[in-house]
């Protein structure tokens, strides 16, 4: 039986697929037989997550979750189905065209998925200036920290690969320093540090509210994408394709 290995960085993103809260580095088998793992943020964590999935003999890999827009045309909640991932080494990793096209065909018109490239980053892209620079340099529409690592492993193991990302951080917005100062390496926000930072800089509260709203919009988009993609995420093994 074909089995997709799905990597999400954060437990909150995994909630767009399963109702229960999964912990970091957890491995969860879906009713359809596919595997979902929560990696934590960053390429090293994503690479370790793929190891867990390879041990389960998955036959395809998918990067699923949120991304930051680096194109001003994308707003919070917009869906990106990447044609390519641009690695930090400037290598180009293509997603599976047939799989992507089947998923697009199954999505409702209101989701209007954006194609184009996702740029890999090894750190959180904080400022609108850096986002604009990445867009000019690469032509990519969004950036994330995990898809590049997953794409490299998919190529190494000759597995079909897809990246499904929803925008949670618009290109025109600087990432609030309250979050970056209170976030640990795996992507957890330490609440006490966040509250202490806000107490010192209450002017950041509106930005935090906007970021929370944007993240909520992204997760709702992912939930809709999952609902319409079906239990197999529109995947069909090459031998079963028409």
Q: Write down the pLDDT at residue 21.
A: 87
**pLDDT above 60: residue 118:** yes
82: left (phi over 0), alpha (psi -120 to 50) or beta: beta
Residue 234 has pLDDT above 70, yes or no: yes
d(CA 8, CA 15): 10
**pLDDT (tens digit per residue) in 167-198:** 999 998 887 777 776 777 776 676 777 677 67
The region that residue 194 occupies, defined by phi over 0 for left and psi between -120 and 50 for alpha, beta otherwise, is: alpha
Cβ atoms 58, 159 nearer than 8 A: yes
pLDDT over 70 percentage in the chain: 94
- For the chain, give the mean pLDDT: 90
Burial environment of residue 42 by CB neighbours within 10 A (0 to 12, 13 to 18, 19 or more): buried
The single residue listed with the structure tokens 């609440």 is 191
Non-local CB neighbours of 233 within 8 Å, separated by 6+ positions: 4, 6, 34, 62, 103, 162, 226
Domains of the chain in start order, with CATH, are 4-173+218-240 (3.40.50.1580)
Q: Which residue has the tokens 């065909």?
A: 105
In this prediction, residue 238 has a pLDDT band, given cuts at 50, 70 and 90, of low
- Mean pLDDT score, 139-167: 96
Look up residue 137 and give its DSSP letter.
H
If phi over 0 gives left and psi between -120 and 50 gives alpha, with beta otherwise, what is residue 210? alpha
Share of the chain above pLDDT 90, in %: 69
pLDDT per residue as tens digits for the range 76-113:
999 999 999 999 989 999 999 999 999 999 999 889 89
Per-residue pLDDT reduced to its tens digit, 31-73: 999 999 999 999 999 999 999 999 999 999 999 999 999 999 9
């Amino acid at each position: 039986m074909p089995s997709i290995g799905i990597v999400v960085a954060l437990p909150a993103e995994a909630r767009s697929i399963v109702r229960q809260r999964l912990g970091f580095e957890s491995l969860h088998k879906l009713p359809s037989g596919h595997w979902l793992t929560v990696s934590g943020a960053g390429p090293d964590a994503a690479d370790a997550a793929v190891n867990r999935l390879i041990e389960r003999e998955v036959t395809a890999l998918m990067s699923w979750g949120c991304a930051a827009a680096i194109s001003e045309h994308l707003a919070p909640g917009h869906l990106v189905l990447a044609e390519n991932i641009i690695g930090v080494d400037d290598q180009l990793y293509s997603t599976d065209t047939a799989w992507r096209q089947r998923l697009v065909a199954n999505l409702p018109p209101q989701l209007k998925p954006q194609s184009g490239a996702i740029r890999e980053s090894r750190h959180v892209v904080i400022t609108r200036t850096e986002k604009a620079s990445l867009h000019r340099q690469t032509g990519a529409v969004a950036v994330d920290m995990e898809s590049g690592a997953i794409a490299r492993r998919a190529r190494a193991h000759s597995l079909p690969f897809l990246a499904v990302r929803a925008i949670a951080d618009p290109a025109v917005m600087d990432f609030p320093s309250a979050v970056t100062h209170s976030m640990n390496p795996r992507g957890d926000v330490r609440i006490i540090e966040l509250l202490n930072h806000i107490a010192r800089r209450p002017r950041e509260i509106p930005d935090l509210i906007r970021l929370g709203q944007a993240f909520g919009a992204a997760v709702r988009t992912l939930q809709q994408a999952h609902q319409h993609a079906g239990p197999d995420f529109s995947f069909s093994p090459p031998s079963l394709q028409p």
